[in-house]
């Protein structure tokens, strides 16, 4: 019992006795996200091929023409300024969709228009307007969703 009342010697500072830590290793630099690439490069090298793959291989389109061009919005009553557009056409021109980027950015405003039988599109719709984070996979999914909404694909 006498030992319990005897004050103990103060503990040595543990920081003084701990061996010095090696400097932290430099983190490996992550490759930039596809979506962070320059706009035209992303669209031409990643988005257009991904849409082509989705429509040809997954949906069975065999005469798809897909391009990325700067041209006026081909909708009745819209200004004639040129904007970057992804244009898809198949069924010998009977079905066409356009995704127009109003700014040279995948996160900027985008619109969707479509036409059948070579007619001029008469309707434009907001495309991906509610999305805060835009990724390649999400953009392709939205394209497929819009085209399926028109009942233009084999599964419809």
Domain ranges of the chain: 36-148
What ranges in the chain are assigned the alpha helix state H?
2-5, 14-17, 39-42, 48-53, 136-149
Q: Is the pTM of this model over 0.85?
A: no
User: Distance of CA 64 to CAs 77, 84, 93, 126, 149, Å?
Assistant: 28, 19, 9, 23, 18
Q: What is the pLDDT along the chain (156 residues), one digit of tens a residue?
A: 555 666 665 555 555 555 566 566 667 777 777 787 899 999 999 999 999 999 888 777 888 899 999 998 877 777 788 999 999 998 888 889 999 999 999 999 999 998 888 888 777 888 888 878 888 999 999 999 888 888 887 655
How far apart CA 64 and CA 77 sit, in angstroms, is 28
User: Distance of CA 60 to CAs 104, 122, 136, Å?
Assistant: 31, 27, 21
Q: Which residues pair with 89 in a beta bridge?
A: 65, 96
């Amino acid at each position: 019992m006498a030992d319990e009342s005897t004050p103990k010697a103060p503990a040595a500072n543990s920081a003084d006795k701990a061996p010095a830590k090696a400097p932290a290793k430099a983190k490996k630099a992550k490759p930039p996200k596809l979506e962070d690439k320059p706009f035209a490069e992303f669209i031409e090298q990643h988005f257009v091929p991904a849409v082509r793959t989705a429509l040809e291989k997954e949906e069975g389109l065999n005469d798809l023409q897909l391009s990325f061009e700067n041209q006026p919005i081909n909708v009745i009553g819209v200004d004639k300024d040129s904007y970057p557009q992804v244009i898809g056409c198949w069924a010998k021109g009977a079905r066409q969709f356009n995704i127009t980027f109003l700014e040279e950015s995948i996160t900027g405003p985008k619109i969707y228009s479509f036409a059948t039988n070579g007619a001029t599109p008469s309707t434009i719709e907001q495309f991906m307007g509610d999305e805060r984070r835009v990724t390649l996979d999400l953009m392709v999914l939205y394209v497929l969703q819009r085209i399926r909404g028109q009942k233009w694909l084999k599964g419809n």
